[in-house]
Amino acid sequence: MVKKFFIIFKIATLLCVLNSQSLSADNLNFNEDIEEAVEAYNNGNFYKAIKAYKMVADSNNLQGYLNLAVIFKDLGYYEMAIKILEKAKVKFPQDLKILTLLGRIYFLSHRIDKAIDILNKILEIEPDDLEANINLGLCYAEKGLDSEAERYYQKAILLNRDSIVAHISLADLYLRKGKIQEASEEYRKVSLIDTSILNAQKILAELLFKLGNLEDSLRLYQKIILYQPHDRLIKTRIAQIHNRLGKEFFEKERQRVTLQRKRKKVFVKPFGEISGIPLLRIGLMQRVSSVEFKCSSPFEVRRKSGHSEVFNGLKDEIYLISKSADNKIVISSKRQQKYIDNDSILIKPKEPEGTITIFNITLGEDNFWARKDDRSYRGVIEIKLDRWGIKVINIVSLEEYLYSVVPSEMPYKWPKEALKAQSIVARTVAMKKLGRHKKEGFDLCAQVHCQVYSGVEQETETTNKIVDETRGIIMVYDNKPIDALYSSNCGGHTQDNIFGSNKEIPYLKGRSDLLGEEELVFPLSPLQLEFWFKQPPQAILCRDGTNFRWIRIYSYQEIKEILDKIADFGQIQKIVITRRNRSGHVTQLKIVGSNTTYVLEKELNIRTALGNLRSSMFKVEIKKDAEGKPLQFIFYGGGFGHGVGMCQSGAKALANLGKNYKEILNHYFGKEIEFIKLY
């Protein structure tokens, strides 16, 4: 939701605060005022925060200077930040934090030679400083010194092979120099590190097209079009590739896919009859005009009402289910055709090890992980008609459902105790959310909204055994299943409940994922938050993997196209974060334009409006040109997902430290929860 919002203060007020002689350090109750300053900063009360940190700086305290500079940097007042840091540098000439901030702000404000001078001083002190190497590369690239820029980018990649900024910058450099092959290799690396950077995938698809790699280019464009189905330029390029490859290519491709589907035979170890285990109805597809399927064993089709048998199907035969003009279900194949009336039907393998394969299921629609796939399922498939088309539902027991969910949501090679925690969390989620999609005719969907359910191909012997070992165990609070939320990576600190009415829930309290001597007190100060994203502590549990820290770089035109969907901002001037919760996740920000200023609130609204960011834990920087106009909007972020409840990457780390599943779940949900066995 967005609403009109007025600018909190003017630059003149800030100047008065900085130059005021009435803010005496003698009146400072240090600890209390610093706590209030941190609270004020995280709640967008910048005047109060500046006032407090100014008093700290007046007492010749380094932290006062640094925090004050970070606030002005966040607000886009680079000259003020530089003035403060230059003053601090005289008193603390070798302090790396001063030099790091100063070098970055000089770069952002287009004072490139000044930035290079400062950044070189950093490398004299610390040659392997990652950020200094990257920023030097950016500075030399801006001066047109590509060889120097490339050298620093390569050094940064040696220091951190997953450095998105280094890879993107190197890719852009190669592209600018016409080195298409080298550029495509770097953009491919970017896509592997962070698939959510859509622009990198678009550029890669285009480069592959120019290199004549039409098949890979087409596959990438077909993936992108699922995410941006109305993009005319992509549709045009797909049509051009189709034309170049020719009808013969696509006929061979169709035959290859058909043969592959015919050969596909998926069997499972039968689960058996165990009393007390609930049956779930999982929505697989909705509003489709037709669907193809096959069964690895002979199968029967029955009407749902009365369960009378209407059709017997052949194993390994591909069937098409469609909706007729007179609103009837039609099942047909090359060898069989049967019309069914408009009652819902149930498709069931006649052999217990048989599975039903549904072809061409769209997964993650409108998300960067969108794709189409063939999936095989245990249990029974129900086909229903509604006014929009066909609905496909899988009826399966809870434990068989978990056979797929656990390895779909967590890599099966992860530590056993982490997988046990995941299986208990997933079972608890299913019990808590049972009937979530009741109005749509099923209990749970197969997507991230409920839990990812990928069918039997995702099952592994390891995870099936773990699900069996934890059979029936769920977490409860006050004798009810808890809302056992979880996300891929919390970025270092989970957040309090943000869903529904944001009511306080005892087991959904934000918890630090930082263990050991480097423990920080949250909420973080402006300075701590700055380095939390760029130089995070080593002792964070979820530090492992590419989801821990991310970056999104938008050109001015890109951010304008994204934000123009919200309102007519005119010239986008800045994005200011006006409220964070204790964990550092953004809960409110304002977008300032020449025409209007708007406020965005709530985690998902913010992430979606800004181009589907990986999380709501982030900071924003603006790169300006020589005239002070925005060139780029740079988002530094942490974590992947909403960050509430269990952090999966953190669970892995705890398991590696020897913690069992109960200790892991108690870490994230608190010791007030209880474990019970339902069956």
Residue 648 confidence (pLDDT) above 70: yes
Residue 501 lies in a domain: no
Bridge partners (DSSP) of residue 443 are none
Sign of the four-CA dihedral 470, 473, 477, 480: positive
Residue 15 confidence (pLDDT) above 60: no
Taking residue 272's Cβ as centre, other Cβ atoms within 10 Å add up to 7
- Determine the residue type at 272: G
Residue 110 lies in a domain: yes
Answer with the residue of higher pLDDT: 388 or 136: 136
Query: Cis omega (within 30 of 0) on the bond before 526?
Result: no
Report the C-alpha gap between 513 and 531 in whole angstroms.
16
Mean pLDDT of the chain: 92
SS (H, E, C) 503-539: CCCCCCCCCECECCCCCCCCCCCHHHHHHHHHCCCCC
Residue 231 lies in a domain: yes
Residue 533 lies in a domain: no
Q: Worst-scoring range by mean pLDDT, 217-231, 251-265, 524-538?
A: 251-265
With beta carbons less than 8 A apart as the criterion, state whether 157 and 180 touch. Answer: no
pLDDT for residue 44: 96
Taking residue 624's Cβ as centre, other Cβ atoms within 10 Å add up to 18
243 and 328 together in one domain: no
252 is written with which tokens?
């061979």
pLDDT for residue 304: 87
With beta carbons less than 8 A apart as the criterion, state whether 312 and 323 touch. Answer: no
Q: What is the bridge-based pairing of β-strands 319-323 and 473-477?
A: unpaired
The residue among 438, 454, 481 that closes a domain is 481
311 and 247 together in one domain: no
Report the C-alpha gap between 164 and 547 in whole angstroms.
12
CA distances from 243 to 207, 215, 222, 327 (A): 18, 12, 15, 36
Position 254 confidence tier, pLDDT thresholds 50, 70, 90? confident
Angle between helical axes of 232-263 and 214-227 (0-180°, round to 10): 110
CA distances from 351 to 281, 366, 392, 399, 522 (A): 21, 37, 21, 19, 57
Taking residue 678's Cβ as centre, other Cβ atoms within 10 Å add up to 16
616 is written with which tokens?
């709501």
**258-311 pLDDT, tens per residue?**
888 878 888 899 898 788 999 999 999 999 999 999 999 999 999 988 777 788
186 and 91 together in one domain: no
Residue 514 lies in a domain: no
Residue 578 lies in a domain: yes
With beta carbons less than 8 A apart as the criterion, state whether 379 and 347 touch. Answer: no
Report the C-alpha gap between 352 and 271 in whole angstroms.
8
140-151 as b/e: b if 16+ CB within 10 A: bbbeeeeebbbe
**51-97 pLDDT, tens per residue?**
999 999 998 999 999 999 999 999 999 999 999 999 999 999 999 99
484 is written with which tokens?
């056992």
Report the C-alpha gap between 669 and 244 in whole angstroms.
56
399 and 358 together in one domain: yes
175 and 290 together in one domain: no
Residue 325 lies in a domain: yes
365 and 468 together in one domain: yes
Residue 629 confidence (pLDDT) above 60: yes
Phi, psi of 326 (to 5 degrees): -95, 25
151 is written with which tokens?
């050298």
Query: What torsion, rounded to 10 degrees, do the Cα atoms 229, 233, 237, 242 define?
Result: 50
580 and 633 together in one domain: yes
310 and 355 together in one domain: yes
243 and 177 together in one domain: no
Q: Which residues contact 27 (CB under 8 A, 6 or more apart)?
A: 55
Mean pLDDT of 623-641: 97
Sheet containing strand 290-295, edge to edge, reads 337-340, 329-332, 319-323, 290-295, 356-363, 371-377
Residue 381 confidence (pLDDT) above 70: yes
The residue among 256, 291, 306 that closes a domain is 256
Domain that holds residue 331: 279-481
Q: Worst-scoring range by mean pLDDT, 1-15, 167-181, 301-315, 518-532?
A: 1-15
12 is written with which tokens?
């003149």
**In 356-498, alpha helices (H):** 398-409, 416-433, 461-469
The model's pTM: 0.92
100 and 212 together in one domain: no
Position 367 confidence tier, pLDDT thresholds 50, 70, 90? low
Report the C-alpha gap between 322 and 284 in whole angstroms.
16
Q: What is the count of structural domains for the chain? A: 5
Report the C-alpha gap between 227 and 23 in whole angstroms.
53
Residue 329 lies in a domain: yes
Mean pLDDT of 477-503: 95
Q: Which residues contact 345 (CB under 8 A, 6 or more apart)?
A: 301, 302, 303, 304, 310, 329, 382, 383
Mean pLDDT of 106-114: 98
183 and 223 together in one domain: no
Residue 201 confidence (pLDDT) above 80: yes
182 and 251 together in one domain: no
Q: Which residues contact 230 (CB under 8 A, 6 or more apart)?
A: none
The residue among 78, 99, 126 that closes a domain is 126
pLDDT for residue 366: 59
Q: Which residues contact 69 (CB under 8 A, 6 or more apart)?
A: 81, 84, 85, 88, 101, 105
